[in-house]
Amino acid sequence: MGVFRIAVFASGRGSNFQALVDAQSNGLIDGEISLLVCDKPQAAVVERARKAGVDCFLFQPKDYASREDYEREIAAELSKRGIDLIVLAGYMRLLTSVLVEPYSGRMINIHPSLLPSFSGKDAIKQALDYGVKMTGITVHFVDGGMDTGPVIAQRAVEILEGDDEDSLSQRIHAMEQQLYPEVVTWFTKGMVELNGRNVAIAAPAKR
Ligand code: GAR
C-alpha cells in the first residue's frame, strides 16, 4: 500500500500538531502529515507547519457565506492529496456534513476532558469549576455532534490541591502530546475497529 496521508486541522498554538510532526520525523508515525488546515492565518501553528515543510490551507471563515462553502474548498484540497485520516488538534470550529460524512470513521479529535463530561469550550476550566478530582483527555471519532463520537482512547489526569488552569493545562497538554501520536499510529497500522459506539484496538494489520 502507498503512503498513509494525514491532514491536521488546528486553530491555535499547535502543540499537538508539533507532537505529530515530531513523531513523523522520529519514525513513530509511519505516514505523512501532508496538510495543515487552519482557520486563523496568524496562529502559531502555521509557523510550525512552515518550519516542518507541511503544506497549509489557510482561510478566514468571514470570507465565506457559510461553513459549507469553506468546507467544500477544504474537501477539494483533501481529496486532491488523497488524505486517509483527518486529525483535529485544537480546531475550534464545528464541522458540517460536507466533511463529517465523507470522512466518517476517518476523522478524529482530541478533547481535554474525560468525555462525556465537560464537552465544548474551556473543558479544563469547566472541570476545575465543577470541583472534580479527576479529569483527563479523550481521543474520539468525529460525528455530527459536539464531542459526541465514539471514544478511541482516554487517559486520566488527577486534579491536585492548589491546581489552577495553568498548572492543570500543562499536565493535560503533556499527556495529549504523548497519546495523540500513539493513536495516529494505530490508524496507520489499521488497528482501530469501530462497532457501533464501541472501538477496539486490534493487533497491527499487514499493509
Ligand atoms: C488541546 O488541549 C485540545 O485538547 C483542545 O485544544 C487544545 C489545543 O492545543 N481541543 C479542544 O478543546 C476541542 N474541543 P494545541 O493548539 O497546543 O494543540
Does ligand 1 have an atom closer than 6 angstroms to the CB of 112?
yes
In DSSP notation, 39-93 reads S-TTSHHHHHHHHHT-EEEE--GGGSSSHHHHHHHHHHHHHHTT--EEEESS--S
CA distance 207 to 189: 7
Domain boundaries, the chain: 5-190
CA distance 90 to 130: 22
Does ligand 1 have an atom closer than 6 angstroms to the CB of 125?
no
Catalytic residue among 111, 140, 173, 189: 111
To test the pocket of ligand 1, the residue of 9, 16, 95 to mutate (highest count of ligand atoms within 8 Å of its CB) is 16
Does ligand 1 have an atom closer than 6 angstroms to the CB of 14?
yes
For 5-190, CATH gives: 3.40.50.170
Q: Edge-to-edge, what's the strand order for the sheet holding 5-10?
A: 55-58, 32-38, 5-10, 85-88, 107-111, 134-141, 151-158
Give the pLDDT of the chain (207 residues) as one tens digit per residue. Answer: 699 999 999 999 999 999 999 999 999 999 999 999 999 999 999 999 999 999 999 999 999 999 999 999 999 999 999 999 999 999 999 999 999 999 999 999 999 999 999 999 999 999 999 999 999 999 999 999 999 999 999 999 999 999 999 999 999 999 999 999 999 999 999 999 999 999 999 988 665
pTM more than 0.85: yes
